[in-house]
């Protein structure tokens, strides 16, 4: 049952990613990207990371996609689709297939070690995923968390300054 | 429980589709969306391996990747708006102002 769900969702995710790269209209690409994000959220739930799935839906499918669709609509790109919209199809295709082959070689020859850490299904069941995430973030990763907040502040200021008409 | 290698393979496929889009498309916003696909495939790898290893650190890393992606979206789209205002185009072929 879980395998069927996995393969169906994987199929939808790959097709959505393919149409992101191949739709002529950027709005259609954006909608396919939302589909891809939701499929990934399903995978996160299957991997027992429900908090990550919620964050994926809220931050990616919510905030970032609204921003992208907003900019597409603002620049009115949906109507101005030019006749030629890609370049270097052959070179790009060859390079990405090579990338896929290299990743496959690593995957086939690699041997995943270090299994059996302390976060098992029973631990997630008893504590809850959100509590485990919060404990790891605010105890072990407090400094990176603060640095991330400064990064977001810099991004806000940068976005305002860049899109102003006159500085 | 699905085997971790399945997730890794799916993630590799998504990453190569994203790189194909980055290499071939002309529209800068579509290239940006393809970069998001690549970031998300890496996130999937992180969470699958974090589950495989039984450790929380990979998921924290995904959290920071999402933070950086949000910052990147804000700054990148502001840059595209500024560029469109100057050149009336968003094609990457027109991004040649630093060339001499």
What are B5-40's pLDDT values in tens digits? 899 999 999 999 999 999 998 889 999 999 999 999
Residue A72: which of B29, B82, B93 has the nearest Cβ?
B29
Q: What is the pLDDT of residue B47?
A: 93
Give the global pTM.
Answer: 0.91
- Residues B71 and A155: their CA atoms lie apart, in Å, by 5
Provide the 8-state DSSP code for B55: -
Query: How many contacts does A have with B, using Cβ atoms within 8 A?
Result: 227
Model confidence over B69-93: pLDDT tens digits?
999 999 999 999 988 888 888 888 8
Provide the 8-state DSSP code for A122: H
Residue B70: which of A64, A91, A115 has the nearest Cβ?
A64
Tell me if B8 and A107 make a contact (CB, 8 A cut-off).
yes
- Residues B59 and B50: their CA atoms lie apart, in Å, by 7
- Residues A130 and A51: their CA atoms lie apart, in Å, by 6
Name chain B contacts of A87, Cβ cutoff 8 Å.
24, 26, 93
Q: How far is B100 from chain A (nearest CA, A)?
A: 23
One digit per residue, pLDDT tens: chain A, 167 residues?
889 999 999 999 999 999 999 888 889 999 999 999 999 999 999 998 999 999 999 998 889 999 999 998 888 775 656 656 778 888 989 999 999 999 889 888 877 777 777 878 888 888 888 998 998 899 989 999 999 999 999 999 999 998 887 65
Place of tokens 């650190």: B57
User: Please, what's the b/e burial string for A124-146 (b: 16 or more CB within 10 A of its CB; e: otherwise)?
Assistant: beeeebeebbeebbeeebeebee
Judge whether A18 and B15 are in contact, CB under 8 Å. no
Residue of B nearest to A158 (CA): B75
Tell me if B2 and A6 make a contact (CB, 8 A cut-off).
yes
- Of B78, B90, B40, B72, which Cα lies nearest the Cα of A78? B90
Q: What is the pLDDT of residue A167?
A: 59
How many CB atoms lie under 10 A from the CB of residue A117? 15
Q: What is the pLDDT of residue A111?
A: 76
Distance of CA A38 to the CA centre of its chain: 9
Sort A77 into a burial class: Cβ within 10 Å, 0-12 / 13-18 / 19+: buried
Q: How far is B97 from chain A (nearest CA, A)?
A: 17
Residue B56: which of A64, A68, A133 has the nearest Cβ?
A133
């Amino acid at each position: 049952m879980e395998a069927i769900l996995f393969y169906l969702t994987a199929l939808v995710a790959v097709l959505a990613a393919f149409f992101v790269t191949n739709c002529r209209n950027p709005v259609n690409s954006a909608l396919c990207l939302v589909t891809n994000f939701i499929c990934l959220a399903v995978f996160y739930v299957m991997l027992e990371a429900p908090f990550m799935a919620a964050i994926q839906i809220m931050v990616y499918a919510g905030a970032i996609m609204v921003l992208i669709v907003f900019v597409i609509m603002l620049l009115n790109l949906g109507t101005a689709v030019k006749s030629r919209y890609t370049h270097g199809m052959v070179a790009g295709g060859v390079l990405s297939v090579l990338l896929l082959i290299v990743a496959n070689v690593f995957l086939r020859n690699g041997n995943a070690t270090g299994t059996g850490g302390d976060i098992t299904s029973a631990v997630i069941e008893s504590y809850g995923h959100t509590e485990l995430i919060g404990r790891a973030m605010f105890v072990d990763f407090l400094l990176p968390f603060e640095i991330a907040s400064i990064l977001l502040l810099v991004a806000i200021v940068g976005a305002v300054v860049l899109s102003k008409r006159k500085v | 429980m699905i085997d971790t290698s399945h997730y890794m393979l799916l993630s590799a496929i998504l990453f190569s589709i994203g790189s194909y889009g980055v290499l071939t498309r002309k529209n800068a916003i579509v290239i940006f969306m393809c970069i998001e696909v690549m970031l998300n495939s890496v996130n999937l790898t992180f969470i699958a391996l974090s589950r495989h290893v039984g450790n929380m650190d990979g998921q924290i890393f995904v959290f920071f990747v999402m933070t950086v992606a949000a910052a990147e979206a804000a700054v990148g789209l502001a840059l595209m708006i500024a560029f469109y205002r100057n050149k009336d185009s968003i094609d990457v072929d027109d991004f040649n102002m630093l060339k001499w």
